[in-house]
Amino acid sequence: MIGEFEYVLLTAASALGDDAYGVSIREQIESATGRRCSIGALYTTIDRLESKGLVTTWLGGATTERGGRSKRMVQLTPQGVSAAREFYNAIMRVSRDASWAVERGKGIV
């Protein structure tokens, strides 16, 4: 099972589609979670996800317009999508009757 931060990163990369790379993923995570994402957390997790085959990465072309190192693009593999779905479903399944998970039209109240 992947960890929580790994899940967050996969989700952010998925949301960004073709624009997913280190910096944009970091911004996406910070905006989606409201919490800070450190550089170390970011790249070590990308590395770990890649070595597990859950994402692939490659160096982006020279699309930069004003200086700067080239981007390391990130994309989920089918296994990455599966792993994320599994994590999500596991949380949903476990939370089914939790008081903090009740939504409209759901359960006894």
Partner DNA sequence: TTATTACTATCACAATGCAATACAAATGAT
Partner DNA sequence: ATCATTTGTATTGCATTGTGATAGTAATAA
First vs last C-alpha separation in the chain = 32
Task: Check binding of 84 to its own copies (CB under 8 A).
Answer: yes
Ramachandran angles phi, psi of 55, nearest 5°: -140, 160
Selection from its own copies, DNA, none that 95 binds (CB < 5 to 8 A by kind) is its own copies
Burial 33-45 (b: 16+ CB within 10 A, else e): eeeebeeeebeeb
Residue numbers at the binding site for DNA (CB under 7 A): 1-6, 21-23, 36-41, 43-48, 52, 62, 64, 66-72
Residues that bind its own copies (CB under 8 A): 1, 3-4, 7-8, 11-12, 14-15, 32-33, 81, 84-85, 87-91, 93-101
